[in-house]
Amino acid sequence: MDTILVANAGSSSVKFQVFEVEPGGGLRRQLKGQIDGVGSRPRLRASAADGRVLVDRTYENDAVRDVTAALATAGAWLRTELKINPIAIGHRVVHGGPDYDKPVRIDQKILTQLERYASLAPLHQPYNLAPIRSIQAYFPELPQVACFDTAFHRGHGALADCYAIPRQLHVEGVRRYGFHGLSYEYIAGALPKVAPEIADKRVIVAHLGSGASMCAISRGQSVESTMGFTALDGLPMGTRPGQLDPGVVLYLISEKGMSAEAVQNLLYRECGLKGLSGISNDMRELQGNSDPNAALAVDYFIYRVGLNAGMLAAAMQGVDAFVFTAGIGENSPQIRAAIVDKLGWLGASVDATANGANKLLISGRDSRLPVYVVPTDEELMIARHTLSLLSRAEGSTKQARAS
């Protein structure tokens, strides 16, 4: 049985899923799991597609010191206990820079190029690449595929792609990229099946989680995104500020005497919901907290989603539907209802019963703007890209042999 392993490595956790390659070329999810608490209290958990628990195991801190060791631990469990030896591994890589607009099979040259973008995604890129490097060293023949969060947005026009800065900087790669592309690509591909009435129309998709952004999608293509050069821009997030006047950064350096490293740490780890509330970066915790600062953080998040919806509607010269996805978007009826209220000027209203039940269509009967909740599946998107790239490579090899 051929399988594809999908890995999504972060700073203190590694999420993974295994997909079986079916005879017709389809993919069936076998299991999903993660190792979290890396470097502090490592814990391996995994469950089968039917929800059955496969493993729940803790480790000594020294046994799983970093994300490389975490993926090695998960890989050893898959090989020795489940007898799973994947034919390829697909990785989520946050930043593809100006060079990569589609998934690629990784070699040493590509890995070196991707390392150049670590400073543009310091919370993600170094950790995305560390397991790739380790697998490359121990299993050099095992195909590894990088799937980029920036790729879906690379078809943007020049007006959406550039900043008003000297052209040479743009040539060097200082431009608007957009992120969460694997999620948006999945939603764009799912709409013809789950909501065909809007699939070829102008849709705003709100990927709302600890990392949050929004995307304008017209006829299945990304037109505009709230994120830009890095994953700091746009909406406020769990620990990131979202839209911020660059003068604030200059002030922190010149007047507060902060180093570039200190500013980076502040912007990526101490801002957003955490910074505003002074309590937590978790929306669930803030919603249940009576502290006024918690309420401010929640209200600010909702306010900025509403503002950015107006921007994205302007980019498409109108909007025909609004879609919620990701952790908050899929699971918080309260936040969804508050955001839809901000979209009242677009004719949106919510059906409280449908919203509370997490239905596909949650807008009211009188709503001129249909509002949907569509679960995303970035891991399946990565598995599809990985299998597709392998299939093309095999086809090319067969053709070369035949000739």
As annotated, the active-site residues are 149
| Contact between 323 and 187 (Cβ < 8 Å) | yes
Q: Is 186 helix (H, G, I), strand (E, B) or coil?
A: helix
HEC states along 317-335?
CCCCEEEEEHHHHHHCHHH
> Rounded to whole angstroms, how far apart are CA atoms 343 and 13?
36
| Contact between 369 and 348 (Cβ < 8 Å) | yes
Q: CA triplet 173, 224, 344: central angle to 5 degrees? A: 150
Q: Which structure tokens are listed for 188?
A: 């764009």
> Rounded to whole angstroms, how far apart are CA atoms 350 and 361?
9
> Rounded to whole angstroms, how far apart are CA atoms 196 and 301?
30
Q: Which structure tokens are listed for 312?
A: 């994205």
Q: Which residues pair with 212 in a beta bridge?
A: 208
Q: Which structure tokens are listed for 246?
A: 């660059």
Segments in 120-259 forming alpha helices (H): 125-138, 158-161, 167-171, 181-194, 246-254
> Rounded to whole angstroms, how far apart are CA atoms 156 and 177?
9
Residues 6+ apart with CB under 8 A from 226: 213, 214, 215, 233, 234, 235, 242, 308, 311, 312
Q: Is 274 helix (H, G, I), strand (E, B) or coil?
A: helix
Q: What distance, in Å, lies between the first and last C-alpha atoms of the chain?
A: 30
> Rounded to whole angstroms, how far apart are CA atoms 144 and 140?
9
> Rounded to whole angstroms, how far apart are CA atoms 305 and 292?
20
